[in-house]
Amino acid sequence: MKITAIRFAKLTVPLVTPFKTALREVSFIEDLVVLIDTDKGQVGYGAAASTPIITGDTHQGMISIIKYFLAPKLIGLEIENLNHICHVIQSTVVANRSAKAALELAVYDLWGKLYQAPLYKLLGGGSSTLRTDITISVDGIDKMLADCDTAVKQGFDVLKVKIGNDLQQDIERVKAIYSGFSKHAKIRLDVNQGWNAKQTVFALQKLESENIELELVEQPVKSDDFKGLKYITERVNTPIMADESAFSPKQVIQLLEQNAVDIINIKVMKTGGLSRAIAIADITAQYQAQCMIGCMLEGSIAVAGAAHLASAKAQQITKIDLDGPALGQFDPVQGGVEFKGPSITLSSAPGLGITQIDGLQHIDNGVWPA
């Protein structure tokens, strides 16, 4: 099965409620969809969101990198040579992680179709059902409490609470949410780089002194502040997780060698594709560290790849944060992975299992070769 062409489209899904963090506010899931055609008539699907403030990637930038640098090297390659294709994708340009991730997802989808097996089984097998947390956007306390109440009534038993824009108010938010919902759900905090190391220690020691037990705190400090992460981890009992600090396998090794964090958050878009996400999961196994599998705000095409990985690497990936598709008003993707409330169900169809995508807006001149 040879790659013959690479096409692009856009896919937009409105959110049920705006997605708010310390870094940004978003009202739509807006994905760039990458479609890889083959000489056997099979199509591979990948996707990525525009996240300039996190990965530096935009839709136009991804199209340009793929069309002018990556696609010319991929046309004609055999899907069965998966490792070689991933090496070409990773080595042709530096950075551009979301573009690489979208391409790799489409390649892995075709790899599954080539061997007529769902991706998670080819990656090592696992359960076809998973369970995710749900994100509670940063907002006023009353709104956040209302959102938590809605989530718990929908069956979610893990709440990932976004904070990080005001230290004192953040502490009050956490206390109120913990008081109201700790009997019904585990509480995770995502600070999105909103505090510094001393603020984090102050806040967590204060919360711990009031017997507030959080499952974890995600990326409290700036992404390059490894010393700050270590400073925090040494002074609090609450597990600390790296997100934006852990883009690459090399960074993960540095964090774990320094005992700077307890948990690594793997995101396929952040790592640059499934091949590097798999590598990170394998690295954490050597250090006996836990992983979370996460997403940013992508739709079900991109998140499907992460779900398949979570199933195949379940011994390492013990926490799942793949609620992105469930935040949309609808899912335009048929087949594939089903995201319904806290439940994630993987298809038994080959690859990612996608059969049709409604509402694709194909991009003019978005084909290579033209």
35 is in an annotated binding site: no
177, 159 Cβ separation under 8 angstroms? yes
CA distance 306 to 294: 8
Q: What is the rounded distance in angstroms from the CA atom of residue 214 to the CA atom of residue 212?
A: 6
Identify whether 267 is a catalytic site residue. yes
Q: Is 24 annotated as ligand-binding?
A: yes
The verdict on whether residue 222 carries a ligand-binding annotation is no
Token readout for 42 is: 């099979």
Q: Are 30 and 24 in contact (CB under 8 A)?
A: no
DSSP secondary structure string for all residues of 109-165: HHHHHHTTSBHHHHTT---SEEE--EEE----HHHHHHHHHHHHHTT--EEEEE--S
Tell whether residue 166 is among the known ligand binding residues: no
Answer yes or no: 162 catalytic: yes
Catalytic residue among 162, 270, 313, 319: 162
Catalytic residue among 67, 113, 267, 319: 267
- The answer on whether 122 is annotated among ligand-binding residues is no
Q: What is the chain's alpha carbon radius of gyration, rounded to the nearest angstrom?
A: 20
Is 160 marked as a binding-site residue? yes
Is 297 annotated as belonging to a binding site?
yes
218 is in an annotated binding site: yes
**190 in a known ligand binding site:** yes
d(CA 5, CA 300) in angstroms, rounded, equals: 23
CA proximity to 186, closest of 141, 146, 206, 156: 156
Q: Which helix (H) or strand (E) holds 50?
A: none
Answer yes or no: is 318 a known binding residue: no
Cα separations in angstroms, 90 against 12, 53, 353: 27, 21, 25
Q: Which residues are catalytic?
A: 162, 267
Q: Specify binding-site residues.
A: 24, 135, 160, 190, 218, 243, 295, 297, 321, 323
Q: Specify binding-site residues for substrate.
A: 24, 135, 160, 295, 297, 321, 323
Q: Specify binding-site residues for Mg(2+).
A: 190, 218, 243
